[in-house]
A and B are shown apart, each in its own frame.
Chain A
Amino acid sequence: GGIITQTPKFLIGQEGQKLTLKCQQNFNHDTMYWYRQDSGKGLRLIYYSITENDLQKGDLSEGYDASREKKSSFSLTVTSAQKNEMAVFLCASSVGGADTGQLYFGEGSKLTVL
């Protein structure tokens, strides 16, 4: 089996700060995703990548940048943290597209902006 590792697990930032979240997977999956989970809402796709150096915007990409420098890692940057923002960011990977099989998720990175 494989594992998705997200770092950091908890991230506290200041308003306007640029914050970066990292994700590593050892499944050797081609596709990786970043989702945002807000309390009481479904998961919303921020960015996904279908191969190394590929980036595709999801519905929630504004205010975020992403980078897929190698197959096993996918990072997400909050370009300017919003005051009182609180959310969990989930990284996932899959063999192909999300509609063809299982997404494997990390445990999440919880962001708090003071």
Chain B
Amino acid sequence: QQQVRQSPQSLTVWEGETAILNCSYENSAFDYFPWYQQFPGEGPALLIAIRSVSDKKEDGGFTIFFNKREKNLSLHIKDSQPGDSATYFCAAGDSNYQLIWGSGTKLIIKP
């Protein structure tokens, strides 16, 4: 009931393409879904987040598409650049202090 699943585990796309990272969850009480970006040797940093009342959130070249009925969401990275190469974590939270984290997608952007 508490799991957050991410796919694929790793993804390689060419520079300029759109990278699509997927996330699904089981607990229908989750209402907050942040995506964090992590570079090697650093802690994760918040990239973009969505609440379950919305079905889409855009920020620069990053877009979250959210499907409450299907309990899944995706992160689209438009016009991807080598500097976007990182590990991306999807997480889910409800009204307490805990976030449940997915296992991450390692994204490689080839120039």
Q: Which one of A40-48, A68-76, A79-87 is at the B interface? A: A40-48
Known contacts: A42-B104, A43-B89. The answer to whether A98 contacts B99 by CB under 8 A is: yes
Q: Which one of B14-22, B41-49, B67-75 is at the A interface? A: B41-49
Are A108 and B43 in contact, CB atoms less than 8 angstroms apart? yes
8 A Cβ contacts from B56-108 to A = 89, 91, 93-104
Per a CB cutoff under 8 Å, which of A31, A41, A44 touches B97?
A31
A26 to B87, CA, bound (A): 26
Are A42 and B103 in contact, CB atoms less than 8 angstroms apart? yes
How many chain B residues sit at the interface, stated as a range, is 20 to 34
Residues of B within 8 A of A (CB): 4, 9, 31-32, 34, 36, 41-46, 89, 91, 93-104
Q: How far is the CB of A57 from chain B (nearest CB, A)?
A: 10
Known contacts: A56-B97, A97-B97, A99-B32. The answer to whether A42 contacts B102 by CB under 8 A is: yes
Are A42 and B4 in contact, CB atoms less than 8 angstroms apart? yes
Are B43 and A45 in contact, CB atoms less than 8 angstroms apart? no
Number of residues on chain A facing chain B (CB within 8 A):
25
Are A45 and B98 in contact, CB atoms less than 8 angstroms apart? yes
A41 to B5, CA, bound (A): 11
- Residues in B neighbouring A92, C-beta threshold 8 A: 43
Are B45 and A105 in contact, CB atoms less than 8 angstroms apart? yes
Q: Write the chain A residue with the least CB distance to B104.
A: A42
